[in-house]
Amino acid sequence: MKTKKCTNCNESKPATIEFFVSRKGTKSGIRNQCKDCKNKKLNKSRQKNPERRRELDRINYENNKDRIKKYIADYRASKPDYEKIKYKRKKDLITKSYVASSMRRRVSELDDRIYETQKLIIKIKRELNKTESWKEEN
């Protein structure tokens, strides 16, 4: 099998689009950097400047909508249990972050109720004081 050396990590990998990002219009049809390096670079830029990266992702999506949608549809079709995996992932999420966020929501609702109750207590105390001083005066 024909291999290609990644210009970034210098590792030789099979010269296929499985290991290298495809690039139309070149002789080999693939980029000089392997997918691992490309993904690492992307992750780094995501961490460094998430907003800028999101914006670039959005622009890329707008420009390649049909291609991306087709890619996702093909990917799903190639994995018959994709929905099952997605569902399982969802279930895992429910047990962790979902519970955490719903707890946080409840705590903040509770905070609101505590605040309202404290306001009410202050109001009642004020009324009581008024009544007390009225009693003393009369």
Question: Binding residues for Zn ion, per CB under 5 A?
Answer: 6, 8-9, 34, 37
5 or 113: whose CB is closer to Zn ion? 5
18 or 81: whose CB is closer to Zn ion? 18
Handedness of CA 84, 85, 86, 89 (dihedral sign): positive
Q: How far is the CB of 3 from Zn ion (least distance, A)?
A: 12
Query: Taking the C-alpha atoms of 112, 118, 122 and 128 in order, what is their torsion angle to the nearest 10 degrees?
Result: 120
Distance CA 19, CA 74 (A): 19
φ/ψ of 13, rounded to 5, equals -135, 160
Q: How far is the CB of 7 from Zn ion (least distance, A)?
A: 8
Q: How far is the CB of 17 from Zn ion (least distance, A)?
A: 14
Residue nearest to Zn ion (CB): 6
